[in-house]
């Protein structure tokens, strides 16, 4: 009774809509008992369906054409798997890893790593090797934000004003203009003449632009000068971290953002593949630093490593295509057919 139910709690089950047994006529009950008996015999022959080779298939019934599909699909899948295994083992040493019996996640990581290094921007080594990765990233992001604000101030002011505007006593000029605004005419005109004359000297063409709020202009110029001071103060730590990438206000902010994004991918892939380090983690880390700096040349078209990477990418794509073909042909449930993405030996 109960003991048997506990034993069967983990067994495969199928919901059958048999209706109320009390409503069955003796003949119908006998028929169903016969069907259950036949099913029992078949299940004994099939064995545990959880271990059956066709457990992943969603086909409702067997058809002769299925055997033909197996004959066509299985050899292509096996050939693709064999090619991918060979290509993986050939490319893996270029990445400092062992390429035997890789999981699906690891195969995807190898493909992504090859693409990553082939487009390496050779980011600053100090940023790559930093032991304070998140903190240094925040510093670089702050410098990028400052560079963008400086660029915005320059774009807004330089069409109308000379950069000599920043050499003026901006706070004093602003205070004088505010005082002139807060008094009556003609005193307001007299008080505004001197600061306006000073500003006209640094305006493009030597004339004050019409329709411009000079107080707002000075507010932006004061902010600009403050941002320039921040860039000057950042020169030493930024040069130490970014090397020649740092050129003060002329630093390429977009380039730094691309470096950060590339380093994020590099760190993520390194973490994914580090368990496969060969011959050891130290050699793996050293290899990944080398590739971060020179991966573009290492995997360039025409090089041996570039050829191995191309062969791996082609084999990976063929294997994915063969799996997709099998999934369509037999309505396969991917998790049951191929195992979990992190399960070793995806090509087995």
Q: Mean pLDDT for the chain?
A: 90
Q: What is the per-residue pLDDT across 90-135, written as a single tens digit (0 to 9) for each?
A: 999 999 999 999 999 999 999 999 999 999 999 999 999 888 889 9
Question: DSSP character for 159?
Answer: T
Q: Which of 231, 66, 211, 74 is nearest to 148 (CA)?
A: 231
Q: Which of 44, 70, 71, 42 is nearest to 57 (CA)?
A: 70
- What pLDDT, on a 0 to 100 scale, did the predictor assign at position 160? 95
- What pLDDT, on a 0 to 100 scale, did the predictor assign at position 1? 60
For residues 322 and 251, give the distance between their C-alpha atoms in angstroms, rounded to a whole number. Answer: 48
For residues 211 and 222, give the distance between their C-alpha atoms in angstroms, rounded to a whole number. Answer: 20
Residue 260 neighbours by CB under 8 Å, 6+ apart: 137, 140, 141
**Residue 33: exposed, middle, or buried by beta-carbon count in 10 A (0-12, 13-18, 19+)?**
exposed
- What pLDDT, on a 0 to 100 scale, did the predictor assign at position 302? 94
- What pLDDT, on a 0 to 100 scale, did the predictor assign at position 59? 83
In the predicted model, residues of the chain with pLDDT beneath 50 are none
- What pLDDT, on a 0 to 100 scale, did the predictor assign at position 286? 95
- What pLDDT, on a 0 to 100 scale, did the predictor assign at position 251? 97
| Coil, strand or helix at 277 | strand
- What pLDDT, on a 0 to 100 scale, did the predictor assign at position 233? 97
- What pLDDT, on a 0 to 100 scale, did the predictor assign at position 11? 65
- What pLDDT, on a 0 to 100 scale, did the predictor assign at position 26? 80
pTM over 0.75: yes
- What pLDDT, on a 0 to 100 scale, did the predictor assign at position 174? 94
For residues 307 and 164, give the distance between their C-alpha atoms in angstroms, rounded to a whole number. Answer: 56
- What pLDDT, on a 0 to 100 scale, did the predictor assign at position 31? 83
**Residue 153: exposed, middle, or buried by beta-carbon count in 10 A (0-12, 13-18, 19+)?**
buried
For residues 165 and 148, give the distance between their C-alpha atoms in angstroms, rounded to a whole number. Answer: 20
- What pLDDT, on a 0 to 100 scale, did the predictor assign at position 317? 97
């Amino acid at each position: 009774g109960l003991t048997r139910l506990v034993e069967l709690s983990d067994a495969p089950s199928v919901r059958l809509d048999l209706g109320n047994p009390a409503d069955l006529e003796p003949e119908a009950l006998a028929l169903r008992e016969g069907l259950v008996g036949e099913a029992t015999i078949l299940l004994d022959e099939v064995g545990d369906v959880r271990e059956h080779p066709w457990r992943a298939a969603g086909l409702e019934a067997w058809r002769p054409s299925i055997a033909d599909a197996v004959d066509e699909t299985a050899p292509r899948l096996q050939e693709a798997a064999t090619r991918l295994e060979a290509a993986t083992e050939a490319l893996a040493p270029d990445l400092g890893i062992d390429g035997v019996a890789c999981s699906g996640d690891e195969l995807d990581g190898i493909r992504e790593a090859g693409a990553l290094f082939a487009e390496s921007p050779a980011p600053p080594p100090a940023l790559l090797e930093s032991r304070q990765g998140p903190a240094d990233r925040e510093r670089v992001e702050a410098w990028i934000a400052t560079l963008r604000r400086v660029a915005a101030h320059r774009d807004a002011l330089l069409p109308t004003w000379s950069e000599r505007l920043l050499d003026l006593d901006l706070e004093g000029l602003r205070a004088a203009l505010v005082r002139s605004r807060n008094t009556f005419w003609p005193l307001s005109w007299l008080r505004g003449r001197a600061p306006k004359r000073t500003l006209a000297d640094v305006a493009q063409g030597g004339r004050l632009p019409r329709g411009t709020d000079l107080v707002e202009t000075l507010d932006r110029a004061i902010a600009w000068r403050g941002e320039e001071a921040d860039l000057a103060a950042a020169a030493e730590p930024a040069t130490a971290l970014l090397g020649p990438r740092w050129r003060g206000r002329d630093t390429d902010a977009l380039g730094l953002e691309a470096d950060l994004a590339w380093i994020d991918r590099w760190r993520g892939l390194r973490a994914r593949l580090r368990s496969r380090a060969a011959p050891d983690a130290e050699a793996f880390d050293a290899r990944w630093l080398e590739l971060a700096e020179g991966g573009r040349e290492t995997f360039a078209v025409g090089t041996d490593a570039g050829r191995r990477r191309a062969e791996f990418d082609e084999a990976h794509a063929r294997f994915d295509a063969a799996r997709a073909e099998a999934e369509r042909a037999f309505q396969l449930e991917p998790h049951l057919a191929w195992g979990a993405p992190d399960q070793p030996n995806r090509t087995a």
